Amino acid sequence: MSLKQSLSQKLDQRLSPQQIQLMKLLEVPTMELDQRIKQEIEENPVLEEGKDDNDEDFSAEEYDDYGENSDEREDFDINDYLDDDEPAYKTSVNNKGKDDEERAIPLSSGNSFQERLMGQLNLQDLTEKQVLLASYLIGNLDDAGYLERDLESIVDDLAFSQNITASEEELAEVLEAIQELDPAGIGARDLKECLLLQIRRKQNGDITRYTAMKVLEDYFEEFTKKHYDKIIDKLEIEEDDLRAAINEIIRLNPKPAGSLKESSKSMIQIIPDFEITESDGDLELTLNGRNAPELKISRSYEKMLRSYSEGAKLNKSDKEAMLFVKQKLDSAKWFIDAIKQRQNTLFFTMSAIMNYQREYFLTGDETKLRPMILKNIAEIVNLDISTISRVANSKYVQTPYGVFSLKYFFSESLSTDSGEDVSTREVKKILSEAIEAEEKRKPLTDEKLAALLKEKGYNIARRTIAKYREQLNIPVARLRKEL
């Protein structure tokens, strides 16, 4: 096979780096936008926070195409970057008012639940070797506080990785010491042991808690499968006694490390990107001010370019510095315009969603939600579906009925017997209400729920009912049974 050379033309459509960054900006939620802007300000000295009274001189229409090579980039008009209308006093005094908002980034810190357990362990009378073993065991606890690995495997790991020789009996003794720490249930190897550790610590001779302990010890499988009749017969107790014991069990914490882990986390507060208010039947949409920060071009760098334009003779290094400043000015102008474009895109998209779901925003009735997919909004605002998806991602709106994710308002459609299209969210609402109203001794099966919805005009298969039930985190009928 011989080698050949040939010329061919190919037309590709590729996104510029600026377009890619703009799409990423659309995805950024309000909380992260502040950090993104601060990062840009740190990387670009030309960009500053604050209001520019004459920022039209730095609009997108002034962007120039400077070419790819350095010779083309050096040929630019300095006057494009200068603002002769700016009064001198505005650049020489502090114009910051007392009411200007200063945003500070809070710092948070906390100990992990493993560190808190080690702090408690240091108060116990343990040998140096036991402390080492306990530290290794605590390090093997999962996020819920369970030790899921068997002691035999841990003995091998200690020997090979830590060069510590220990027996399973020694590890079991240390594990018992860990299980005495707070919160109760820490260090358990399964759910049954976790609940038993907690109920034994609470027992104190109480007959109800003693019954609960016996249920967990001897009839845990029957309890998980809700075979209550078998437990009543074997323990020879009344139904009321079992009901009281079950109430004690369900108060126990199946994830004992959850409280410690959550307390060590810094809480993330949701800040709505939009706010919808209702007044006399009219809806008003406002955009969070953090989505429209005030940015401007640094006047000190403008002065630097002004001196260059006045004919000062510069050497090669000075010209390179001027070229660097010009590139940073281009970047700053683009970023300011991108923030404005992000603001407009967010506002127009949310306006379309608000008008599309007007009945819901006026009443707060979930059954008033219309079927809505990304394509519906994309066609209204004349944007691509992927752009709408980016806008809806991690964005929240504050309404008179609570704060919701934008994704909450998107749902598929379902046809009723009358031919009307309704939102699947409406069906889920009716399904949830039917389960709440069911007799807990005899919960409704998926087949009965399907028949119930069919009577209401919703022709839904049993497997669809099961899918919606799982999406609502509702267990099967057997596990919803109560005494």
AA identity, residue 16: S
Q: What is the pLDDT of residue 299?
A: 77
Residue 40: predicted pLDDT: 83
DSSP β-ladder status, 396-399 and 274-279: parallel
3-state secondary structure 358-392: HHHHHHCCHHHCCCECHHHHHHHHCCCHHHHHHHH
Neighbours of 362 (CB within 10 A): 14
> How far apart are alpha carbons 166 and 481 in whole angstroms?
47
Whether residue 106 has a cis bond before it, omega within 30° of 0: no
Output the pLDDT for position 16.
62
Per-residue pLDDT of the chain (483 residues; tens, 9 = 90+): 567 787 877 766 565 666 666 777 777 777 777 788 888 888 888 788 777 655 443 333 333 433 333 343 344 444 444 444 444 444 444 444 444 444 444 444 456 778 888 888 888 888 888 889 989 998 888 888 899 888 989 988 888 888 888 888 999 999 999 988 888 889 999 999 999 999 988 877 788 999 999 999 999 988 888 888 899 998 888 888 898 998 999 889 988 887 655 544 445 677 888 899 988 888 999 888 766 667 877 777 767 766 666 655 666 676 777 777 778 888 888 888 888 888 888 899 999 999 999 988 998 888 788 888 888 899 999 988 888 888 888 888 999 888 888 888 887 777 666 656 677 777 888 888 888 888 888 888 888 888 888 888 778 888 888 888 888 888 888 778 776
Please report the pLDDT score of residue 195 as a whole number: 92
The answer to whether 372 and 356 have CB atoms below 8 angstroms apart is yes
- Cα distances (angstroms) measured from residue 348 to each of 26, 75, 463: 13, 39, 38
Cα–Cα distance for residue pair 313/250, rounded to 1 Å: 82
Query: What is the per-residue pLDDT for 309?
Result: 61
The CATH number of 411-483, from 1.20.1250.20, 3.40.630.10, 3.40.50.2300, 1.10.10.60, is 1.10.10.60
Confidence at residue 67, expressed as pLDDT on a 0 to 100 scale: 33
Query: Looking at this protein, which amino acid is placed at residue 389?
Result: S
For position 380, what pLDDT does the model report?
92
Q: What are 28's two structure tokens?
A: 């950024």
Residue with tokens 């639940």: 113
> Quick one: pLDDT at residue 352?
92
The pLDDT value given to residue 372: 87
Q: Find the farthest-apart pair of alpha carbons in the chain and give their distance in angstroms, rounded.
A: 103
Map out the domains of the chain as residue ranges.
17-60+266-405, 113-263, 411-483
Q: How far is CA 181 from CA 112, 150, 187, 297, 467, in A?
A: 15, 20, 9, 58, 41
Contact call for residues 269 and 396 (beta carbons, < 8 A)? no
Q: How far apart are CA 414 and CA 427, in angstroms?
A: 9
pTM: 0.54
